[in-house]
Amino acid sequence: MISVLMPMNELKEKIRRLCTDAGFSNARFSRAGILKEEAKYLRQWLDENRHGGMSWMDSSYGKRTDPAAVMSDAKTVISLSYNYDTPYEHSQSQDVPKISRYAWGTRDYHKILKGKLRKLCADIERISEAINCRYYTDDGPVMDKAWAVRSGLGWMGKNTNVIDKDSGSFFFIATILMNAEIEPDRAVEDLCRECTLCVSACPTGAIYDEYKVDSNLCISYQTIENRSDKITEIDLHGWIFGCDICQDVCPFNRPGTFSTDEHFIPNRLVFNKTYDELLQMSESGFKETFAGTPVMRAKYAGWMRNLRKARSELKR
**Which residues here bind ligand SF4, judged by CB under 6 A?**
157-159, 192, 195-198, 202, 204, 206-207, 213, 218-220, 243, 245-246, 249-252
Residue from 83, 167, 179, 220 touching ligand B12 (CB under 6 A): that is 220
Residue from 29, 171, 252, 264 touching ligand B12 (CB under 6 A): that is 171
Residue nearer to ligand B12 on the CB measure, 234 or 281: 234
Residue nearer to ligand B12 on the CB measure, 231 or 246: 246
Residue nearer to ligand SF4 on the CB measure, 206 or 281: 206
| String of DSSP letters for 225-269 | I--SS---S---TTEEE---HHHHT-TT--TT-----GGGS--TT
CB atoms within 10 A of CB 251: 12
Residue 205 per-residue DSSP state:
-
In the complex, minimum distance from the CB of residue 63 to ligand SF4, in angstroms, rounded to a whole number: 25
Distance CA 129, CA 55 (A): 38
Q: Which helix (H) or strand (E) covers residue 163, if one does?
A: strand 162-163
User: Phi, psi (5° rounding) for residue 87?
Assistant: -75, 10
CB atoms within 10 A of CB 287: 13
Residue nearer to ligand B12 on the CB measure, 160 or 257: 160
Active site residue 138: yes
In the complex, minimum distance from the CB of residue 245 to ligand SF4, in angstroms, rounded to a whole number: 4
In the complex, minimum distance from the CB of residue 254 to ligand SF4, in angstroms, rounded to a whole number: 11
Torsion of Cα atoms, 109 then 111 then 114 then 119, to 10°: -120
Q: Which helix (H) or strand (E) covers residue 210, if one does?
A: none
Interacting residue ranges for ligand B12, rule: CB under 6 A: 38, 41-42, 45, 54, 57, 100, 102, 137-138, 142-146, 156, 159-162, 169, 171-173, 211-213, 215, 218, 220-221, 225, 242-244, 246
